[in-house]
Amino acid sequence: MRHRSKKKILGRKPSARKALMRDLAQALITHERIETSLGRAKYARPIIEKLITVSRRGDLSARRFLKAFFLTDQPVEKLMDVLGPRFKDRNGGYIRITKLGTRQGDRAETALIELV
């Protein structure tokens, strides 16, 4: 039974779900806009916004936290050098989700997730 279980599972085990969110976050930070399913976009939004909030601090502790989350240094460098200063005076709401319609193959709702 799923009593009081509020988070979505996206049809994956926890380790695969964590890897999916890490890869979505890395792609969004690198390209600043990606197209994905609506469920994945809604699930990824709070995770990515927390990463951006941590990067706004700009200290060594924030850099180590981000390096522990990502597998490579490229998204960490972009968060600390570009996105952290860009959103320094913004109090949240770094991501916009726009619905695009349905995918032709499986009729899944797709969305464009981008940095504001």
Instruction: Give dist(CA 60, CA 92) in Å, integer.
Output: 21
* Whole-prediction pTM: 0.90
Domain boundaries, the chain: 15-115
Residue 33: strand pairing partners: 114
54 CA to centre of own chain:
13
Q: Which fold has domain 15-115?
A: 50s Ribosomal Protein L17; Chain: A, (3.90.1030)
CA angle 8, 11, 14 (to 5 degrees): 70
Instruction: Give dist(CA 104, CA 55) in Å, integer.
Output: 37
| Each residue's pLDDT tens digit, 58-113 | 999 999 999 999 999 999 999 999 999 999 999 999 999 999 999 999 999 999 99
Q: 83 near 14, Cβ under 8 Å?
A: no
